[in-house]
Amino acid sequence: MIRNLSKYNNLVIISIKNNAKSIAAVRRYSNQNYEQSRTKYDVVIAGGGMVGCTLACALGKMSLLSNLKVLLLEGSPDKPYQLPPEYSNRVVALSQNTKSLMSSLSVWQHLEKMRVNPVRHMQVWDACSDALISFSSADIMNDDVAYIVENDVLLHAVNTELKSNSVQNVDIVYGAKIVGYELPKTTSGNEECLVKMDDGKSYTCNLLIGADGAKSAVREAMGVQYVSWDYDHMGIVATLHLAEESENNMAWQRFLPTGPIALLPLDSTRSSLVWSTSPAHARELLKLPEESFVDALNDALWKQYPRNSAVDAATTWVASWLRRAGYQDGAARQLPPSVRAITPRSRAAFPFGFGHSTRYVAPGVALIGDAAHRVHPLAGQGVNLGFGDVRDLTSCLADALYAGLDINDPSWLSKYESTRQRHNVPTQLAIDALYRLYRADLPPLVLARSVGLQLTNALHPLKKFIISHATT
């Protein structure tokens, strides 16, 4: 079968159904043996993390886009993957919308065959007051609140589909070392992007996608303004073994005066930890023997912090007023699990920060994922925002092609930017505000956030609005 040759097909891809292996061999390169002649692409994606790989997969699977010739450049090597018996310490909480995207790309089925755990309930509570908010499947039409999946498992699932015969237009270079970019200076669409590699080779393309993470070199080459700050907080991750076996489909997050601590359910006895705290405290926690670390962790989940009597009186009054006014204040408070042990050597720490690129697009270039925006993981939104970028960018590119325009048409790229920024910027600001509000233990702030949490928990339309924003 000879695939359709549109104006975006620079290459005839001959696909022989019964000879899938040899086709795959032609399509994949290592840095040593790739063919110098094939340097012109319609789209080059710099960065094959969770978001970049998913975009490549979407460009291969959407019928309107699958005639584009796409190159994915990933800095790390292509390693064979086998699901390890023990969970990785790096996990993400995926939203319903991410599940829909992954299902449409046939990636979800791979996750289900490997490991993915639904979250059916979530409890978020304040260590400095009685305020809490809970979410459950009932709040979202009996669907799951989120899904916990290991980063490696997700990456492997996307790559499995990307390398399958259902994707024919994507070349992948692993171990790619990009040394520089030359980007178009005008929106005429006549200039191409140039991607220079350290071995002297180069690629040209009509559209360059920066999916190269928070320290994006593509963003730097665009010369756009990037607003960023460090939270001066580290996130400690680890795989936890719980004291008791249970259904374990509840995610827990407690806001301590030192930062939030979250437990994400993996299976009936294990959960994943994300504990945000000051760098000095993180260093101390990392140095502790594992048993002492578990004690410190249980302490963080259970300890009674000093209370302010005025705050307690006010929150008690608000709770009784809400009940009298007929508002249910959500599910009853549940007690968090106790931790028995951690998987040996599963502790690690990551710095947290905020980042916002004021422009997501420039002539012939677009940013997606952490290259465009970075958030504190307290709301489990980071990679979900990136997958939202993938969904909206592919839809804008398909619309541009359908309208007979070029793939790098500036008006459609601008549409992508405005659609995403309308969603991403308020989400980023809300997460930042939450982080700041919960870092303080001044009584007026504790009072304001506690009452806010109580009201949000009781007012179902508000709660539903938050859930629907978080899942789109």
Binding residues for ligand FAD, rule: CB under 6 A, are 46-52, 73-76, 92-93, 176, 178, 211-213, 217, 235, 237, 274, 350, 369-370, 377, 380-384, 386
Nearest CB to ligand FAD, comparing residues 381 and 457? 381
In whole angstroms, how close is the CB of 74 to ligand FAD at the nearest point? 5
Nearest CB to ligand FAD, comparing residues 311 and 379? 379
In whole angstroms, how close is the CB of 376 to ligand FAD at the nearest point? 9
- Helix segments in 62-204, DSSP class H: 96-104, 108-113, 151-162
In whole angstroms, how close is the CB of 75 to ligand FAD at the nearest point? 3
Nearest CB to ligand FAD, comparing residues 178 and 301? 178
- Cα–Cα distance measured from residue 68 to residue 42, given in angstroms and rounded to the nearest whole number: 6
Token pair belonging to 336: 């968090």
In whole angstroms, how close is the CB of 236 to ligand FAD at the nearest point? 8
Residues 6+ apart with CB under 8 A from 9: 3, 67, 69
Contact 458, 322 (CB under 8 A): yes
- Cα–Cα distance measured from residue 368 to residue 382, given in angstroms and rounded to the nearest whole number: 11
Contact 51, 158 (CB under 8 A): no
Query: CA nearest 237: which of 349, 150, 352?
Result: 349
| 227 to 146, 266, 375, 407: CA distances (angstroms) | 29, 35, 12, 28
- Cα–Cα distance measured from residue 208 to residue 181, given in angstroms and rounded to the nearest whole number: 10
In whole angstroms, how close is the CB of 223 to ligand FAD at the nearest point? 17
Nearest CB to ligand FAD, comparing residues 146 and 401? 146
Nearest CB to ligand FAD, comparing residues 177 and 323? 177
In whole angstroms, how close is the CB of 145 to ligand FAD at the nearest point? 12
Nearest CB to ligand FAD, comparing residues 48 and 336? 48
Nearest CB to ligand FAD, comparing residues 59 and 92? 92
- Cα–Cα distance measured from residue 173 to residue 33, given in angstroms and rounded to the nearest whole number: 11
Query: CA nearest 376: which of 350, 355, 349, 352?
Result: 352
User: φ, ψ for residue 326 (rounded to 5)?
Assistant: 90, 10
User: φ, ψ for residue 168 (rounded to 5)?
Assistant: -115, -5
Nearest CB to ligand FAD, comparing residues 212 and 409? 212
In whole angstroms, how close is the CB of 436 to ligand FAD at the nearest point? 19
Nearest CB to ligand FAD, comparing residues 92 and 407? 92
| 253 to 260, 412, 452: CA distances (angstroms) | 7, 39, 17
Nearest CB to ligand FAD, comparing residues 210 and 410? 210
In whole angstroms, how close is the CB of 77 to ligand FAD at the nearest point? 10
In whole angstroms, how close is the CB of 399 to ligand FAD at the nearest point? 23
- Cα–Cα distance measured from residue 54 to residue 379, given in angstroms and rounded to the nearest whole number: 22
Contact 375, 39 (CB under 8 A): no
- Cα–Cα distance measured from residue 207 to residue 192, given in angstroms and rounded to the nearest whole number: 8
- Cα–Cα distance measured from residue 233 to residue 224, given in angstroms and rounded to the nearest whole number: 26
In whole angstroms, how close is the CB of 101 to ligand FAD at the nearest point? 13
